[in-house]
Structure 1
Amino acid sequence: MSQLESTTQEVLPSWLDPSLFTGMLRGIERESLRMQSNGFLSQSLHPKALGSALTHPHITTDYSEALMEFITPPKPTIRQALDYLMDIHAIANRQLENDEKLWPMSMPCMLDSSDEQIPLAQYGTSNVGRFKTLYRHGLGVRYGRRMQTISGVHYNLSFPDELFEALQAQETDKKIKKLSLQDYRSERYMGLIRNFIRLTPLVIFLVGASPAVCQCFMTGRDHHLLPLVKGTLYSPYATALRMGRFGYQNSAQKQLGIHYNNLKDYLKGLQKAVKTSYKSFKRLGLENAQGEAIQINDHVLQIENEYYSLVRPKQVPQADETPSQALENRGIAYVELRAVDVNPYSPIGITEDTAGFLEVVALYCLLQDSPALLKDEEDVIERNQAEVVNRGRAPNVDIIENGQAHPIEDWCTYHIQRMQPLAALLDSTDNTTLYTDALKAMMVRVDEVDATLSALMVGDTREQGGMWHFGQALAQQHVSAYEQHQMSAETLAYFEQAAKVSIQKQQQLEQDSTVSFAEYLAQYR
């Protein structure tokens, strides 16, 4: 077992100036199930007063009609992003009916034994809206609807062009120096992505918060989980079951060979998957006995978004562009960090410490060397991730890096210590201590495993008598936080107007549909 020695001087280049980070932007997407007062998944429609889930910019639905998704616009500071997210939660909470609440955990609230009781998200009668619902129907047919009720937090982050220009000026490789800013930025973001994949076990260990599940979630599935208390199953040292084989997993996707070594190959792999038929999905058929479509197609991916990944390169699509066309046309604009569990102790599912930590990790990943990710290393990373997901808090967990095994505490400490100067740099950009404080909070979890979110959750779930009781108590606390949250008249007016405009936009789309849905789908196929 080798020693990890932390040296920080090479992490922070001497020329790197805090002013290069002015203009960093972050946006947050948080998913949350609507839960009935009896603890079961809501069966009611998306609240009308919140507008159209199809066209609202901030309040939509994900897989299920009962799975809300809250989206902030890009913001110049973490505080502004979190405040905006709190506004959205408070607005949504005002419109929940029949004593419904937002379920505070990544793993779902109580589900009926039948998958049919997980209602698909509905987006109206336009072709675009019906296509979105059909896509969700296809996911249910392929993987079962239960898997789709899991919630997460997606953290979107972009660095300013000035930083990429400064980085490129320091490059010694003539070929890289000659790249356009767009291509160079994409190249560096792909490097960030590869390193983030390598460091995902660190993120899972420190912010993983799904060590247990309601027993009902495992209906009809083989598993190795143990009873924690009646009605709740867990793995004693698990950190984030959401990130393991009971979460978003897809054996078909494992064979895709989508790599992150350059943007061109990544896009080629993605586009191939959307066009390649897959035997298991072909057997399911495209229509049911009544001739109604049950999946968009029988390809490995129905659409590009079906590809489940820990981190995604992103560009804002324009007009009718697919995500990959947007990336092809304008390069990577930001990265979406997707390996983040909902923090059940926070009313908005994420804290300032987690946000600060993720941004330091992302900058660390951007500045480090990032060699190509090849099959052997991918296998090691997969092994590390499974180890941390299932038994990250066990006393003898090792992380394999560069062919050496390291105790997880040593490995985490090594990387966090190397991140310290970057946290200080980001602090000086914003004249804050947020980033340094975030790393301190994470070091507490490394030094004392019982301080991790997953350990706290196991203790509290046991104490409260089960996952549902614990979730219900937290949901009630969060309601109080939403109700006490002060919003300006301007904010209230904005969200009221956004709801109205979204309904008008949906109606317009429904009126503009000139071809039948069958023709629309045939054209896509």
Structure 2
Amino acid sequence: MFSKIGQLIFDNEAVAKISDFTMGLEIEMQRVDDTGHLSQEPYPSAIGDEKTNPWITNDFLETMSEVVTPAASHALDAMHYLYAINNVLRSALAPGELLWPLSMPPKLPKDKSTIQTAKMGSVKEAYLKEFIKRHGFSKGTPCGAHINLSIDDHIIDLVLKNFPERFKNRIEVQNYLYTVLAQGFMRYRWLITYLFGASPIAEANYFDKEDELPHPIRSIRQSSYGFGTRFSGCFVDVQKYVKRIEEGLKQGVLIADHDFHSPVRFKGTKDFRDLPKKGVQYLELRMLDLDPSSSVGVRTGTLRFIRLLSSYFIMHPALKADDVDQVLSKADEMNEDVSVELPTDQCKYQNKAR
């Protein structure tokens, strides 16, 4: 059943426009040597400075290359950018270097202090040092595919024009529509994990001996064994989203605002506290494992599927404010169930997925 906004989009024959989301990609891959170990080579000098290159940078490790594409209007264009920049990175690798195609890192040394974290300036390096102290080294090493998704201006203008009594300005429309999208992706993250989960095993020394998994699972990275800080955000609205992160910082649970490693994040302002008044500009979707069957970590069909899901979400009602935390908590439980299933078994939620 459509929301009033969804019906408006349908009545104005704007369904095609609703799928015109702009997409930018951020794809992380580890540089490895030809024996399958983390590379000992520095950031490739042929592509400049890792701190200033906007298209090829580093994340947690000096070996964790991150390719960042410009925003594109179509999935195919985004993929063209990705292939072009990925090829530049590959051409700059040292002799014998390769890009590791899996989300989970290659075999790590027993003494992880020998691995170089990213050289991204004193502030970032201090953050990484504190992250390792709190969460351990391994938690920062998984790679993934991030999608930055923004709504077509035509849809924002259409909603503002037809609901003047509900929205005072564009920023209110933006924040509302992005909240609806965020709730949708958080609610159905388990489905994305089911279809695209691709981190079933960890190589040597990722887990401590007593924590090793007894069998492969669908997605280590998207499970409670995976990446980063376990801190639940609030997706009732943008103001409450910001307030929840501020609480995490005040309590010392979060080191910095970017320590909030949610599968979905509101983005668009330099300071996250400005999001309510300046407006969300795009969503960062962080729930995709690298696709090991693709040389660039993601496929065009996956981006098109995400675009279709986005269209579906935006035409349906937001969750009632009082229901958000409960519904998304249940969704997190479902995602954990799907993540830790034996990949060769029938999914517990197969019928719901259909």
Q: CA deviation at 1:353?
A: 0.5
**Is the aligned partner of 1:118 residue 2:115?**
yes
- Aligned twin of 1:82: 79
User: Which stretches in structure 2 are left out of the alignment for 5+ residues?
Assistant: none
Equivalent residues of 1:118, 1:145 under 8 A apart: no
Query: What is the deviation of 1:203?
Result: 0.6
Partners of 1:345 and 1:111 in 2: CA distance: 23
Q: What residue in structure 2 maps to residue 273 of structure 1?
A: 248
**Who is 2:149 aligned against?**
157
| Conserved 8 A contact 1:315-1:326 | no
**Quick one: which amino acid aligns to residue 202 of structure 1?**
L
2:11 match:
14
Offset of 1:21 from its aligned partner?
A: 4.5
User: Counterpart amino acid of 1:243?
Assistant: Q
Query: Contact 1:78 / 1:356 at 8 angstroms: preserved in 2?
Result: yes
Asked if the contact 2:175–2:280 (Cα under 8 Å) also holds between the matched residues in 1, the reply is yes
Distance in 2, matches of 1:86 and 1:395, equals 34
Q: Tell me, yes or no, if structure 1 residue 301 matches structure 2 residue 254.
A: yes
Secondary structure in 1 aligned to 2:184? helix
Displacement of 1:80 in angstroms is 1.3
SS of 1:312's equivalent in the other structure is strand
Q: Return the letter of the residue paired with 1:135.
A: Y
- TM-aligned CA deviation for residue 142 of structure 1: 1.0
Percent of aligned pairs sharing the same letter: 24
Give the corresponding residue for 2:208. 219
Contact 2:148 2:283 in 1 (8 A): yes
- How is 1:399-478 mapped onto 2 (pairs within 5 angstroms)? 408-413=349-354
Give the counterpart letter for 2:219 in structure 1: A
Please say if 1:341 is aligned against 2:297: no
CA distance in 1, matches of 2:345, 2:108: 34
Structure 1 residue 205 and structure 2 residue 194: aligned? yes
Question: Larger helix proportion, structure 1 or 2?
Answer: 1
Equivalent pair of 2:18/2:311 in contact (CA under 8 Å): no
Offset, 1:306: 0.5
Name the SS of the counterpart of 2:122 in structure 1.
helix
The aligned counterpart of 2:336 is 386
| Alignment correspondent of 2:131 | 139
Aligned-partner Cα distance in 2 for 1:79–1:353? 9
Asked whether the 8 Å contact 1:43–1:117 carries over to 2, the reply is: no
Question: Which of residues 236, 240, 245 in structure 2 aligns to 1:261?
Answer: 236
Give the alignment of 1:68-107 within 5 angstroms: 68-107=65-104
Deviations, residues 186-245 of structure 1 (Å, cap 9, x unaligned): 11111110111111011111111111221331234524423xxxxxxx2xxx32111012
Q: Deviations over 1:104-137 (max 9, x none)?
A: 01011111111213211113xxxxx111111111
Q: State how far apart, in whole Å, the 1-side matches of 2:326 and 2:19 are.
A: 38
Q: Aligned letter for 2:86? A: H
Q: Which residue of 2 aligns with 1:495?
A: none
TM-score, normalised by the number of residues in structure 2: 0.91
Change (3 A) 1:338 1:22: closer
Instruction: Tell me: CA distance 1:221–1:72, structure 2 relative to 1, closer, same or farther (3 Å).
Output: farther
Q: Is the 8 A contact 1:311 1:338 kept in 2?
A: yes
Cα RMSD for the two superposed structures = 2.3
Distance 1:397 1:76, change over 3 A: closer
**Corresponding letter in the other structure for 2:192:** V
CA offset at residue 394 of structure 1?
A: 6.3
Letter of the 1:205 counterpart:
Y
Alignment of 1:46 with 2:82, yes or no, is no
Deviations 1:64-85 (A, max 9, x none): 1010100001112211111111
Secondary structure of 1:214's counterpart equals coil
Deviation at 1:410, TM superposition (A): 2.2
Number of positions where the alignment pairs a residue of Structure 1 with one of Structure 2: 349
